[in-house]
Amino acid sequence: MIKTLSKAQKMEREKFRIPRSVQDAIPIRRIFADGIFQVGNRYSKTWSFTDINYAIASKEDKTSMFLDYSELLNALDSGASAKITIYNRRINKAEFERSVLLPDKDDGLDEYRHEFNQMLTAQVTGTSNSIVRERY
Q: Does position 124 have pLDDT exceeding 60, yes or no?
A: yes
Contacts of residue 102, defined as CB under 8 A and 6 or more positions apart, other chains included, come to 113, 116, 117
pLDDT for 120 equals 85
Contacts of residue 88, defined as CB under 8 A and 6 or more positions apart, other chains included, come to 131, 132, 133, 134
Task: Label residue 111 left, alpha or beta by phi (over 0 means left) and psi (-120 to 50 means alpha).
Answer: alpha
Q: Does position 77 have pLDDT exceeding 90, yes or no?
A: no
Using CA atoms, how far apart are residues 79 and 42, in angstroms rounded to an integer? 11
Contacts of residue 30, defined as CB under 8 A and 6 or more positions apart, other chains included, come to 37, 38
Pick the residue with more confidence: 38 or 52?
38
Quote the pTM value.
0.54
pLDDT for 5 equals 66
pLDDT for 10 equals 67
For residue 95, the one-letter residue type is E
pLDDT for 36 equals 93
pLDDT for 128 equals 56
